[in-house]
Structure 1
Amino acid sequence: DSINSGQSFTVDHLTIHVLPMTDQTQFDRLLWSCDLNIVRGEDSFLRAQWAAKPFIWHIYPQEDDYHLVKLQAFVNIYIQKLDDDIATNWSKTNFAFNQQDADVVKHWQKLISAQLPLLQHAKQWAIDAKTGADLASRLVQFVKTS
């Protein structure tokens, strides 16, 4: 069966709304209004971080599963300030989404129970990203320490 814009699907406390394509401004507003975002491309991945909301990165598959290497690199950085149990489950949920793992439901249910700490983490992550050193400063620091 095909899925069309305007359809909605509800299972327990999860509702998925299939929305039409939109411009970037409306997409950003949508990210800001959701409790949890599932994003695909790298631009959307970045914008999801700026939205300061919990998210799952459903990364585009690449040859030799290289997308999983990129996902692991991001996960390693993103979970550093999360509680260990939440970090583990957020990581497992991301990988389950990206590997079509049947355990995604189990991980998803645990993830939803950590909604508030994930929201607090996402907000702090966005603040830290904005207040961190700019790229030029990071490059100078890298050269000095290399």
Structure 2
Amino acid sequence: MSQSPIRPVLAVSTAVFRNGQVLLARRGAAPLRGLWSLPGGRLEPGETLAEGAAREVMEEVGVACRVLGVAGALDIIRRDGAGEVSTHFVVISHAGLWLDGEPSTGPEAAEVGWFDPRQLPADATDGLAGIVMAAHALVAGS
């Protein structure tokens, strides 16, 4: 019996800024467990990109934010030992402003913190720095 082909999964994330710092979460679950990243996850049917981005921040770290716009997009493609695609996420990343709540950990966020956007942790997901800088520019222009 053949396996169904892997299809890209649409996901969202948000670079939330407060007092010039960006909120990051160290991933507590696969994929990319242990790496610092933006709070985010899969887009749900019937929600807009912005709605999903705000929902994921609230669900993952307990922070309410106002989504300003799209900062960029990244492909996260993982391959198995034979070189076959095992997962493919298309992440639409947003810029946002903190509204309420102190970030907290949970099943998806093993650790949380506010960081200077120019001094991000070295153990971060691929493309994080570029997305954070694009989001920072959107926030500065708002």
User: Common fold, TM-score beyond 0.5?
Assistant: no
Query: Which structure has the larger Rg?
Result: 1
For Structure 1 versus Structure 2, the TM-score category normalised by the shorter chain is under 0.3
Structure number with the higher strand fraction is 2
Relative to the length of structure 2, the TM-score reads: 0.26
Please state which structure has a larger fraction of its residues in helix. Answer: 1
Which structure has the higher relative contact order (CA within 8 Å, separation 6+)? 2
